[in-house]
Amino acid sequence: MGLEFFDNPQTTNIIELRDIHQSYDNGKVEIIKDLNFLVEDKPMQGQFAAILGMSGCGKSTLLRYIAGLQQPTQGTVLVKGKPVSKENRVSMVFQQYSSLPWMTVLDNVGLGLQFQGVSKKERDERSMEMIQLVGLDGHEKKYAQYPNLSGGQLQRVAIARSLMSNPEILLMDEPFGALDIKTRLQMQDLLIGIWEKFSPTILFVTHDIQEAVYLADDIFIMKHAPSNFVKHINVDLPFNRNRETKRLSHFDELVHEVEDAMMQIDSES
């Protein structure tokens, strides 16, 4: 059955997956089986959960459920206690650049507000505040496409747009995987700053164990298909993290713990 995460009566739930099954080819290929997952709402604190697992185990599929981009073959997906719908969906940051290249940075960031009927004056003002926060001040009138913007800048646009649409939840599917190492490290620090400022719930899929340990306060590991969660590791590092955090001996211990858990799952496949 894998790990199951149940309700705590003292808290409310922000994301819940119940009895999820995913299969293809009329049930001949099972990807996810008997998966239950719960993320509790922690106001003024948020949660940062990293999801690890081998390729093909369904990590990205879980985010697609929550974003309303895919429905499971069986099971229930709830966001803030309600089934995912057009009115209750969550935006998502992908590894591939997802900005609309025919629109400016300013218009891309404010796109969610436009769909909500917010006036152009108000959404431009709010979008500029977010653009400044993610370090894109001065680029707002550029079209959101390469080479006008670098890869890191395009991901900043995507993060800003997601936060504008729903600052309570941020779904990120290997968002830094295509970036060079320096830009990736800068984006990790940017994300920590956003988490500290907005206290959102962040679900972050990555293959990078050090990245998961540095960013998350909880790591969940999925086994091979038919998949579910088989390991939960609490990352008991200081909340306010910086590059010095990676030099702590306990950081290395946590990385080794996750590595060992991943290798144990691999040996059982």
Given the structure tokens 């025919």, which residue do they identify?
A: 102
Phi, psi angle pair for 197, to nearest 5°: -80, -45
Separation of alpha carbons 64 and 61, rounded Å: 5
- Per-residue pLDDT at 98 exceeds 80: no
The contacts of residue 53 (CB under 8 Å, 6+ apart) are 59, 221, 222, 223, 224, 227, 265
pTM of the model: 0.88
Best CATH choice for the domain 13-90+166-268 from the list 2.40.110.10, 3.40.50.300, 1.10.1510.10, 3.30.70.100: 3.40.50.300
Q: What is the mean pLDDT of the chain?
A: 88
Domain residues of the chain, as ranges?
A: 13-90+166-268
Banded pLDDT at 19 (limits 50, 70, 90) = very high
- Per-residue pLDDT at 3 exceeds 70: no
